[in-house]
Structure 1
Amino acid sequence: MIKNSVDIITLGCSKNLVDSERLMHRFSEAGYKVRHDPEKVSSEFVVVNTCGFIGDAKEESIEMILRMVEAKKAHKIHHLYVMGCLSQRYREELEAEIPEVDKFYGKFDWTDLLTDLGSRISEEKDFGRILTTPPHYAYVKIAEGCNRFCSYCAIPLITGRFVSYPMEQLLDEVKSLVSQGVKEFQIIAQDLSSYGLDLYGKLKLPELIDRMAQIPGVKWIRLHYAYPSQFPYEILPVIQRHDNVCKYLDIALQHISDHVLVDMRRHVTKQETYDLLKRIRTEVPGIHIRTTLMVGYPGETDEDFEELKEFVREARFERMGAFAYSEEEGTYAANHFPDSIPEEVKQARLDELMALQEEIALESNASKVGQIFDVIVDREEKDYYVGRTEYDSPEVDPEVLIAKDRFLTVGDFCRVKVVEALPFELMAVPVELD
């Protein structure tokens, strides 16, 4: 066991990852040796940053906590702490069921952990982080919480009301990350569309991204998790105007049937959704849209599902994920709509929808064969380099496998020609820069 050291384990989304990076920075500043997601825990302290979004994520978090409890019993670690979404929502139950954990923290009071351990922490730079991503890209969380209260979603119950981070603080964070060598920025929040409304009385995402794009050293900015209702249309000319704002938008749409959208409390209609997508593609030609859809919501009929499939065929999303409805206690849906659709029906619909999307994704990728793109090199494998275009976010989108025709540096941009397309990968060769 390594004394005066901490292993931090992160489960869930990139928003959780940012919290872990901030906690790692605080531990490091206090003189601790810090590791993230080690293959084997061996530090004096372990912190598990949990996810509580859906059933599978909660189960994964519980399993990880119990594994660390066993490590503590075996004297492989001395102290175990738990933070994040799961303990934010179920702290009392977890404290009763798993007393071996030294202390539980929630989604926001994890900042007390170092203080509880007797360390004095400077608050001068809230955005201080130790990156767990490759050093050329980082996630920037611009807000916490959500005011949308979709019927199926527990996020507002966990994170509370929507709170924007001040614009100047975010711009300072980006400048700090640029000084550390970060070139690419994934802008994240539970709801990008609402940014600024609470602080400034108006939607300020367009101004934030416009100012961020003008910071020297910012090569790519990519937008994640917009909301279709009250969409900030002024962001579209910002995307179109700045070369370093990727022509990419992640906007979860969930469904297209009007009655399902009403039951989901999405505050948007089928026609409004089609109009939104048309305007986005008209104002930003060539944009790649990523969305998330849900199947098996209570009351979803065969006709609703057929309508959803037709929507996918017509919208032709370049990037799409889908998941089956999972009842979350305390949500409006759990309280008002019985989870009546059998699991096997949900899974069959999910498989069918993703098979349809695979065909569309292959056609989208095939259209890129013969074209030349700028890519950022993420890593080197034995037989090729692995990179991404501006249309591809880390972890979730297709990668570009680049032939080792010449030496490339991880973290640098290079120009490639696409020579082959697969549904979720592109094959390419490097070409000379002009």
Structure 2
Amino acid sequence: MKKKINIVTLGCSKNIVDSELLMHQLSLGNWEVVHDSNDTSAKVVVINTCGFIGDAKEESVNTILDFVNAKKNGFVDKVYVMGCLSQRYKKDLMNEIPEVDGFYGVSDLPQILKELNTEHNHRALVERKLTTPSHYAYLKISEGCNWGCSYCAIPLIRGKHISRTIESLVEEATILAQKGVKELIVIAQDTTYYGLDIYGERKISELLNKLSRIDGIEWIRLHYAYPFGFPDELIEEIRSNPKICKYLDIPLQHINSEVLRMMRRGVDRTETVRLINKIRNRIPDIAIRTTFLIGHPGETPEAFNELIDFIKAFRFDRVGVFEYSEEEDTYAAINYTDSIPAEEKQRRAEQLMAVQQEISFDLNKEKIGKQFRVIVDRLEGDYFICRTEYDSPEVDQEVLVNASNIPSSGIAPGDFKEVIITDALEYDLYGEFI
């Protein structure tokens, strides 16, 4: 009889990949693996935590406490904690939650496996047990970050940027394609930095080109591109390669030059505007997703209003926002005073998202009557849930197609279909299959 283990994943897509690697290793041993499950027959739980910002840390701690309570009540035998929160606050967590059976950092896969009496299979290091739908998967191309943005603790948690080789990534992507993956979502803390540490130059364009040659891969999309040093050849690769989605996730964080300087982003307003205009001029149909950090020390009301005007003028397809929270030992925590009240940060964030909601609604209304190629993610209730190449799973909008008059046996997740958009909401579209 195999023992059952529950892997619980919190945080970003990079954590998802880490969990999937652990799950595959465990599945090769004497374990039946479930993910984010409430199955009480799983007597061992591993929680993969996030430690990026205050809200994420609070969620991680609360999740740990929930499973510790389940252990006290006899529903769980063992609780282990891994990931970013455990990496950064291991000693504090050991003192405050001694009921946890073990704490492990972001690079402690061999130690976790040893604790769970499972052999570390080095031949299977590029294989994963997917937690995503079988037709798409994340591909993590590097670990860590070299930038040292003022507010960010990631370099303190995950260390300096370390790229994986092109060969290992092509091997992993090929295995994923053979398992039915059609869409690769390329991720890292900074994808555009890829290759500098091992090849002496940025190799993201070459990597994307080689990934696009893999049989079975239809879409490749790029997340988390850093604006400083953005390679020109990447713009051309996205423009000319039909397998690369006309989609770019590029966190800008702000537009005011003084705030960007205090954030240590390496770019100012003029350089940011020049880059966005260059990308849009060369790829007119590209969808740009970005994020902004609200309430960073030095963000005056005038600087915030400048950001609002920038968003109104540039009309980004997708915008995310998060509020500044002071993180121990970061440059901002050491050198700046967090003087903006939490209520004001929240007010600014809500104002920004209200502006973006109106922009998103206007952009979506412009799509009514137009035809798009979509990938089918799932059947949910009365609708097929689909996405265009301009939308990433989990974070972006979806296209809902009424399934009442369509034989579900003829359509499966991962199928590509053509749709006509018939209606629009702020963050979703409705359509009909052609």
Q: TM-score, normalised by structure 1?
A: 0.97
Residues 247, 288 of structure 1: 8 Å contact kept: yes
Matched, 1:201 2:200: yes
3-state DSSP of counterpart to 1:225 = coil
3-state DSSP of counterpart to 2:68 = helix
| Structure 1 position 320, deviation (Å) | 0.6
Residues 417, 433 of structure 2: 8 Å contact kept: yes
Matched, 1:287 2:286: yes
Report the counterpart of residue 431 of structure 2 in structure 1.
428
Task: Give the distance between the partners of 2:30 and 2:180, measured in 1 at CA.
Answer: 24
Report the counterpart of residue 177 of structure 2 in structure 1.
178
Q: Which runs of 5+ in 2 are unaligned?
A: none
| Structure 1 position 182, deviation (Å) | 0.5
**CA offsets per residue over residues 220-251 of structure 1, 9 Å max, x none?**
00100000001122111111111110000000
| Structure 1 position 95, deviation (Å) | 1.1
Task: Give the distance between the partners of 2:40 and 2:62, measured in 1 at CA.
Answer: 15
Q: Which runs of 5+ in 1 are unaligned?
A: none
Report the counterpart of residue 327 of structure 2 in structure 1.
328
Q: How is 1:359-374 mapped onto 2 (pairs within 5 angstroms)?
A: 359-374=358-373
3-state DSSP of counterpart to 1:177 = helix
Report the counterpart of residue 339 of structure 1 in structure 2.
338
Task: Give the distance between the partners of 2:380 and 2:77, measured in 1 at CA.
Answer: 37
3-state DSSP of counterpart to 2:420 = strand
- Assess, with a 3 A threshold, how the Cα gap between structure 1 residues 135 and 343 changes in structure 2: closer, same or farther: same
3-state DSSP of counterpart to 1:391 = coil
Residues 213, 244 of structure 1: 8 Å contact kept: yes
Residues 30, 121 of structure 1: 8 Å contact kept: no
Hey, which bits of structure 1, 4+ residues long, moved more than 3 A?
Answer: none
Task: Give the distance between the partners of 2:348 and 2:340, measured in 1 at CA.
Answer: 11
The percentage of aligned residue pairs carrying the same residue is 52
| Structure 1 position 96, deviation (Å) | 1.4
| Structure 1 position 3, deviation (Å) | 6.5
3-state DSSP of counterpart to 2:431 = strand
3-state DSSP of counterpart to 2:309 = helix
Counterpart amino acid of 2:202? Answer: L
Task: Give the distance between the partners of 2:194 and 2:374, measured in 1 at CA.
Answer: 29
Residues 30, 118 of structure 2: 8 Å contact kept: no
Task: Give the distance between the partners of 2:114 and 2:195, measured in 1 at CA.
Answer: 31
Q: How is 1:297-308 mapped onto 2 (pairs within 5 angstroms)?
A: 297-308=296-307
Residues 403, 430 of structure 1: 8 Å contact kept: no
Task: Give the distance between the partners of 1:352 and 1:153, measured in 2 at CA.
Answer: 24
3-state DSSP of counterpart to 2:394 = coil
Matched, 1:153 2:149: no
**CA offsets per residue over residues 242-263 of structure 1, 9 Å max, x none?**
1110000000000001110100
Task: Give the distance between the partners of 2:51 and 2:297, measured in 1 at CA.
Answer: 21
Residues 48, 81 of structure 1: 8 Å contact kept: yes
Task: Give the distance between the partners of 2:124 and 2:229, measured in 1 at CA.
Answer: 33
What is the number of residues matched between the two proteins?
430
Report the counterpart of residue 108 of structure 1 in structure 2.
107
Q: How is 1:30-429 mapped onto 2 (pairs within 5 angstroms)?
A: 30-404=29-403, 405-407=405-407, 408-429=411-432
Task: Give the distance between the partners of 1:111 and 1:257, measured in 2 at CA.
Answer: 45
Counterpart amino acid of 2:303? Answer: D
| Structure 1 position 381, deviation (Å) | 1.7
Counterpart amino acid of 1:409? Answer: A
Task: Give the distance between the partners of 1:417 and 1:41, measured in 2 at CA.
Answer: 45
- Assess, with a 3 A threshold, how the Cα gap between structure 1 residues 167 and 41 changes in structure 2: closer, same or farther: farther
3-state DSSP of counterpart to 1:43 = coil
| Structure 1 position 39, deviation (Å) | 2.6
| Structure 1 position 69, deviation (Å) | 0.9
3-state DSSP of counterpart to 1:416 = strand
Task: Give the distance between the partners of 1:355 and 1:263, measured in 2 at CA.
Answer: 26
Counterpart amino acid of 1:17? Answer: I
Task: Give the distance between the partners of 1:32 and 1:207, measured in 2 at CA.
Answer: 38
| Structure 1 position 149, deviation (Å) | 0.3
| Structure 1 position 406, deviation (Å) | 2.2
Task: Give the distance between the partners of 2:256 and 2:120, measured in 1 at CA.
Answer: 51
Alignment RMSD: 1.1
Residues 406, 430 of structure 1: 8 Å contact kept: no
**CA offsets per residue over residues 64-118 of structure 1, 9 Å max, x none?**
1111111111221211110000000011111111111111100111332112333
3-state DSSP of counterpart to 2:292 = strand
Task: Give the distance between the partners of 1:146 and 1:313, measured in 2 at CA.
Answer: 31
Counterpart amino acid of 1:364? Answer: L
Task: Give the distance between the partners of 2:119 and 2:11, measured in 1 at CA.
Answer: 29
Task: Give the distance between the partners of 1:182 and 1:111, measured in 2 at CA.
Answer: 27
Counterpart amino acid of 2:34? Answer: R
- Assess, with a 3 A threshold, how the Cα gap between structure 1 residues 68 and 3 changes in structure 2: closer, same or farther: farther
Residues 23, 111 of structure 1: 8 Å contact kept: no
Counterpart amino acid of 2:415? Answer: D
Structure 1, 364-373 or 46-55: larger mean CA deviation: 364-373
3-state DSSP of counterpart to 1:82 = strand
**CA offsets per residue over residues 44-83 of structure 1, 9 Å max, x none?**
2110000000001001101111111111112212111100
**CA offsets per residue over residues 243-293 of structure 1, 9 Å max, x none?**
110000000000001110100000101000000001111111200000000
| Structure 1 position 40, deviation (Å) | 4.1
Q: TM-score, normalised by structure 2?
A: 0.97
**CA offsets per residue over residues 391-426 of structure 1, 9 Å max, x none?**
000011010001224232222111100011111000
3-state DSSP of counterpart to 1:170 = helix
Residues 7, 42 of structure 1: 8 Å contact kept: no
